[in-house]
Structure formats: structure tokens, C-alpha cells
Amino acid sequence: MAQAGPVTAAPRAKSPWWRDVIGIVAIIAFGAVGYWLFPDNLALLTRIIAVALLVLSIDLIVGYCGVATLGQAALFGAGAYAAGIACVNGVTEPMTLLAIGAVAGAAAGLVVGAIMLRAHGLAQLVLSIAIVQLFHEAANKASAYTGGSDGLAGLMVSPLFGIFEFDLWGKTAYVMGLALLLIVFVALKFIVASPFGMLCRGIKQDPVRIRAMGAFVFPVLLKMFVISGAVAGIGGALAAISTQVVGLDSVSFELSANALVMLVLGGLGTLYGALIGTVIFMGFEHVVSAINPFHWMTMVGALLIAVVLAAPGGLSSLVERFSGSREGKA
């Protein structure tokens, strides 16, 4: 037991409560600014929120548990297709569709986690790639349910709470998505700060020592996979509701890879980093692709190289470094 101390002390120190309050207020403020300044781009902002939920789910697995994965889009796509198929078959209430997406994502997380956690390291990464490709091919072949390469289109979603309709401008979808992001973010903050979250960080640091302390690693990581799948499934369902279309891009390897890049850009294991990375990457991608539709990927790559060289811990590490220096001066 004398050697067990460093494991619990190794993770990042718990931030003061007021930092989380400031962070939540900042999310609300940025959401309000986006609503008022970009009323014609609310569909894009809602898409950013949906992808942010996906990146948050990856952070739970990679940032807090240390599990290498490039297959998280399988969980996102499971939620999107489950909500889309339910909507086509008469379930049109948006909150019910979100719940269906969460359950489908959690179920997919249970299956994917049970498979991936049997391997370690590079084999784990290869397994995740194989899994997302299998999900993609299954969605393509099951055209009777998923629409195949044409996807599910024309999803007719009922008004939110029977009052707020999903119009062409995407106002209802955006406000719903922003509220959903806040609820999920606060819930995940409590989860990662709980003893369960600390145990996940300990497993990331030294799984052998955690086993020696009497904890069971596999069930803990599998539980986090289920939570991660629920978050990703909610993001997929939100994307399906807001766009009223579900296609094969919802379960593509490219989406998984881009989401992981967003997480690295923002910073692993912070939750805030997932949000920062998603907004910066997708915003920069949108602006640069409009300026130069042929070579925009080169500019995105240059941005990523610059960020990795300047801040190996991600953009969130720069914010923490700045706030830490301000506290030191104070």
C-alpha cells in the first residue's frame, strides 16, 4: 500500500470550482454570441456541437483511460442511424430520438469495448480501425434499413416539447444542441472528478499497480466505453435531428481520424480541450476551405504542425499556463 500513493496523486490536480463555473459560463457566452452573430450559419454551429460531443467521448477513452482508438465514429454512427431509423418508423419526438441514440451508442460502446479491450497498444488501434470499417460496411449493406449509400433522408421530426419547430434556419436545433452540450459537459465533469474517474486515470498511468491494489481494470474501462458510447450516440442523434439526414459519413473512418485530431489539437484529458479543439479545427476548416477549396488541407496541416510544436499539450495547456501565471502574479 505504500507504493499505491503515487498512482492516486499522479493525475492532474483538481481545479478550483470557480474555474469550472467560468468554463460553463464561457460555453454559454460563446453559444449566445454564435447565435446572434452567425444566424445564417446555425446549421454549421449545430454540426460543431454534435462533433464536439463525439470528441468529448473520445477524450473519455483516450485522455482519461489511455486506450488508443480510431473507431469512435462507429458509436456516433450507431446513435445517428438508430435515431434515423426510429424516426422513419414513426418515432418523431426529438427527446425520445436523443434517448434512442444514447442507448444505441451505449450498446455499441459495450460491444466495441468488449472487443478492443482484449488487445493492447498497436493491436488495439488496428482493431478500432477494423471495427469502424465493419460498421461502415454493415451500414452500407443493410440498405433496407439504413438507405445504403443514399442514406436516410427527409426525417420529419416533431416540434420540441410540442412547441418549437425545427425550421430551415436551424434555431431550435442549435438551442437544443447547446443545452444538450452543457448538460453532458457538466455530467462528464462530475464523472471524471469522481472516484471512478480517478480510477480511470490511475489505470492510464499504471494498470499493473492498479491491479495489484485489487481493482479490476477490464470492467472499469468497459464501463467508460459504455459512457463514451452514450455521449457519442447523443451526438449522432443530434446530427440526425438537425440535418434530417443520416449518411455513411456518420460512421466513416475519416470522421474518427478528424475527431482524434481535434482532441489532440485542444488537449487530452481536460474536456475543455475537446471543445476548444473542435471549434478551432472546424471553424478554421470552414473559413479556409471557402477561401481556397483546392489546397485548404495544406493550411489545416500547417495549423496542426504549428500548434503541436508550440503547445505539445494542446491549446488548452496554453490557457492553463496563462491562468497559472496570472495566479502566480496575483
Q: Which stretch of 107-116, 141-150, 194-203 has the lowest confidence by average pLDDT? A: 141-150
pLDDT, tens only, 72-81: 999 999 999 9
On whether the CB atoms of residues 109 and 75 are closer than 8 A, the answer is: yes
Residue 17 has pLDDT above 60, yes or no: yes
Q: Which stretch of 70-84, 114-128, 157-171 has the lowest confidence by average pLDDT? A: 157-171
On whether the CB atoms of residues 124 and 184 are closer than 8 A, the answer is: no
Stretch 169-178: mean pLDDT: 88
What is the structure's pLDDT at 60? 94
Of all residues in the chain, the percent with pLDDT exceeding 90 is 43
On whether the CB atoms of residues 314 and 265 are closer than 8 A, the answer is: yes
What is the structure's pLDDT at 131? 93
What is the structure's pLDDT at 209? 85
Q: Would the CA dihedral through 96, 135, 232, 305 be positive or negative?
A: negative
Distance CA(130)–CA(132), nearest Å, equals 6
Distance CA(119)–CA(98), nearest Å, equals 32
Residue 16 has pLDDT above 80, yes or no: no
On whether the CB atoms of residues 91 and 274 are closer than 8 A, the answer is: no
pTM over 0.75: yes
pLDDT, tens only, 302-314: 888 888 787 777 7
On whether the CB atoms of residues 63 and 313 are closer than 8 A, the answer is: no
pLDDT, tens only, 41-51: 889 999 999 99
pLDDT, tens only, 197-248: 999 998 888 888 888 887 888 999 999 999 999 999 999 999 999 888 898 9
Of all residues in the chain, the percent with pLDDT exceeding 70 is 91
